[in-house]
Amino acid sequence: MLSPPYRLLLCDLRSDQVLDALPVQQLALDDYIGKAGSMSGTVPIPNASIAARARAAIVPGRTAVWLERGRDIWWGGVLWTAAVQSDARGALSVGIQAGTWDTYLSHRMLYDTLTATATDQFDIVRGLLDYVQSTPGGNLGIEYGTETSGVLRDRTYSRYDLPLVRDLIDQLGAVEGGFEWRIASFRDADGRRVKRLQLGSPTIRTGHADIVLDHPGPITSYTWPVDATGRANAWQSRGATDNSNQAADSVPLMSTLQIAEQDVADGWPRLDGSSDYSTVGEQATLDGHAVADLAAARAGTVVPEVALGMSRAPVSPALLGSTVRLRIRDPWHPETLDARHRVVGLSITPPERGRPESARLYLEAA
């Protein structure tokens, strides 16, 4: 069965007015929970007419990219780089690279001091997004809901730190009792292209029924890495430096030393770790970062990857946040692995010249 065709829509970043729809080759796209996604491809330039259209529509930093698969939106983001290329035969093309909408927040700074007291952490995120989109030229039309997390925070963000808005949101979510966030791209029931802030505390979860994936079966291959190079069972975080007393040595605020004593009791060696939060000046906030960082470091890095033949598995961007049930039987798993995992990343390779359409899922224990 043939897969639906992919189409590249190029739009004005601020108004979302369609500028052009161009063919794209060597396409690759991915999206994640917890980090930015990307898209790359090559736009062939066979003649002067296409060259003129591409010059007008491909403007890094002010062009939005939407990728359609059939009538569905499968990816959206900001075009950041383009490179005109000529090969030895004189054939022209433009290589493009784009990042998901959240990458725009890595190009926006806080130029004003903002304070929140006993405010739901989701409202703080929405307040930061409002700050970005209320500035002239800053409104990308990112929508959001009214959901709450039930976790109240006190935060003061100083304009003197010149923080990136993306970093503030990431740090706010990376504390004990924090949250996950992403900006999803989709077409709604009215046919609109939508950019929507998605929030989940403590995690983003979608779907109701587990999707069963078997190997052998729809899973064509898998990788199951376990990495202890970043593992730790003792942790201390370093915060802002207090320079208010000129007569005393300036030293940074330090979190309470966090130690997972059970790890040592279970036979693990002592493994130390640390993190820096140079703009955090509140002890409770810094301690919250240390607790969350230790919890992440204790687990080590285990991010299974499974490759799927898309003709045999129900794959779409809506899988992000959903739960899959993996059933793997092979010499390493003679008793059959049967485990539930949450999808936290998705990479798609569209079909091209005899190459079948495929997907790779990045997972964490559910």
Burial 193-213 (b: 16+ CB within 10 A, else e): bbbbbbbbbeebebeeeebeb
pLDDT band of 247, cuts 50, 70, 90: low
Taking 80 as the threshold, does the pLDDT of residue 248 lie above it? no
The pLDDT value given to residue 245: 64
Q: Which distant-in-sequence residues (6+ apart) come within 8 Å of 72 by Cβ?
A: 4, 186, 187, 316
Over residues 45-67, mean pLDDT: 97
Long-range contacts of 129-138 (CB under 8 A, 24+ apart): 129/165, 129/197, 131/165, 132/105, 132/108, 132/165, 137/14, 138/108
Which pLDDT tens digit goes with each residue over 199-210? Answer: 999 999 998 788
Give the Cα-Cα-Cα angle 254, 260, 264 (nearest 5 degrees): 130
pLDDT band of 293, cuts 50, 70, 90: very high
Q: What is the mean pLDDT of the chain?
A: 93
Which pLDDT tens digit goes with each residue over 123-140? Answer: 999 999 999 999 999 999
Over residues 293-302, mean pLDDT: 86
pLDDT band of 16, cuts 50, 70, 90: very high
Over residues 47-66, mean pLDDT: 97
Lowest mean pLDDT among 92-96, 102-106, 173-177, 246-250: 246-250
The pLDDT value given to residue 244: 67
Over residues 302-306, mean pLDDT: 89
Residues 286, 282: Cα–Cα separation, whole Å = 6
What predicted TM-score, i.e. pTM, was given to this entire model? 0.90
pLDDT band of 1, cuts 50, 70, 90: very low
Q: Residues in the chain, how many?
A: 366
Residues 363, 304: Cα–Cα separation, whole Å = 5
pLDDT band of 300, cuts 50, 70, 90: confident
Q: Which distant-in-sequence residues (6+ apart) come within 8 Å of 278 by Cβ?
A: 161, 238, 239, 240, 241, 252
Taking 80 as the threshold, does the pLDDT of residue 3 lie above it? no
